[in-house]
Amino acid sequence: MRYLFFTNTPAHVHLYKYAVRELQRQGHDVLILGRDYGCTKDLLEYYDLPHEIYGSCGTTKYSLFKSLPFHYVNIFREVRRFKPDLIFGMGGYAAHAGAVSRTPVVLVIDSEPTSLDHLVSRPFAKAILTPHTFGKEISENHYQFRGFKETAYLHPDVYEPSVDIRDELGLDPDEKFVVVRFNAFGSHHDVGHQGFTPERRRELIEMLSAHATVFVLDESKERNDGDVDTRPFDFHPALVHDVLAEADLLVADTQTMVTEAALLGTPAIRSNSFVGENDMGNFIELEAHGLISNLKSFDEVMERAESLLTDDGAKQRWRARRDEFLADKVNLTEVIVQVALSYGAVERIGSLSRHSVPA
């Protein structure tokens, strides 16, 4: 069989990397079509995954839309050349590649607000897989798995630290450290949304640095730190999960990394304009299990962060909560491989069920 995977962001590389390796191990031909966005290309090279880059995308609003014609020309050319039997992806690129080449497509979707992507991709999908927390119905061929997309690479069955990350970062054995993640809000699903302002970013970092070493990962290019003492993310991006697993706290105005921290047993605070009554189901569930805090008020962010950093027992409690939470969650890599080997006939797979909107 010939399998084609789309990785448009770094998180997509992690989502599919173990499935790609397993399918290769079983003797199948696999190709990844990747977008040069953030560290996506670096990760594909680091993991030595078979790939071609179909184009690039900046982190400014609307930069993706300007690149679409060029992207689609390259994608359609590669699809005709590779001739896949089954395509995996998370949205329009994969769906339209399947439509043009008449190839079955399986979509893995986890974000309810990306309605435009759902609209342009669902008519062409043989199956759509979502987490059990996904809060809306997409189509008749919509199935759910018990977990999140991050359980493809952070489930205990597959994740283990690759290095001594404290040694890699130059940290003492008991030195507290915090990861701060600022989003660029440049993706199409981020239009109209926002996170911390530059002024509040500085105020946040000043407070955190009084209690711990602070590592800042910033896509926004709007920092206003001045001379605040922080450490840059100057390690390879493939080590970010090892960093998150060892950190005492994550504070972010982004999405995926918050879920990753929760599944690694690290306290996480998320604050952006997505937070509220119509928030995504995965973040609602993670908060209900005491793994993350979804906060709109900046004052609450500051208070909660300081409280966690001065609580010496927080990390141990979070790891116990994480273990309990993951006890009944699937290793999504196994599910993806099963779907691939069944040629996308997901109704045969016991770990998938017809989607029903959570109450």
Domain ranges of the chain: 2-155+329-354, 165-327
- Coil, strand or helix: which one is 298? helix
How far from 171 is each of 88, 139, 161, 178, CA to CA, in Å? 40, 49, 16, 12
Angle at 15 between CA 36 and CA 40, to 5 degrees: 15
Distance CA(211)–CA(205), nearest Å, equals 10
What integer pLDDT is reported at residue 189 of this predicted model? Answer: 43
- Coil, strand or helix: which one is 209? helix
Distance of CA 315 to the CA centre of its chain: 22
Instruction: For residues 162-181, give the mean pLDDT.
Output: 94
Instruction: For residues 157-165, give the mean pLDDT.
Output: 93
Class of the CATH domain delimited by 2-155+329-354:
alpha beta
**321-342 pLDDT tens trace:** 999 999 999 999 999 999 999 9
Helix axes 92-101, 63-82, angle to 10 degrees: 40
Q: Give the model's confidence band at 276: pLDDT under 50 very low, under 70 low, under 90 confident, else very high.
A: confident
Instruction: For residues 207-235, give the mean pLDDT.
Output: 78
Question: Which is nearest to 244 in space by CA: 183, 315, 298?
Answer: 315
- Helix (H) / strand (E) element for 22: namely helix 10-25
Distance CA(263)–CA(322), nearest Å, equals 6
What integer pLDDT is reported at residue 138 of this predicted model? Answer: 84
Specify the range with the lowest mean pLDDT, choosing from 123-132, 187-196, 235-244, 293-302: 187-196
Specify the range with the lowest mean pLDDT, choosing from 63-67, 98-102, 264-268, 349-353: 63-67
- Coil, strand or helix: which one is 205? helix
Class of the CATH domain delimited by 165-327:
alpha beta
Distance CA(244)–CA(201), nearest Å, equals 20
Fill in the amino acid letter for 5.
F
Instruction: For residues 204-231, give the mean pLDDT.
Output: 79
What percentage of the chain reaches a pLDDT higher than 90? 72
Distance CA(7)–CA(93), nearest Å, equals 10
Domains 2-155+329-354 and 165-327 share a fold: yes
Question: Which is nearest to 116 in space by CA: 57, 66, 9, 191?
Answer: 191
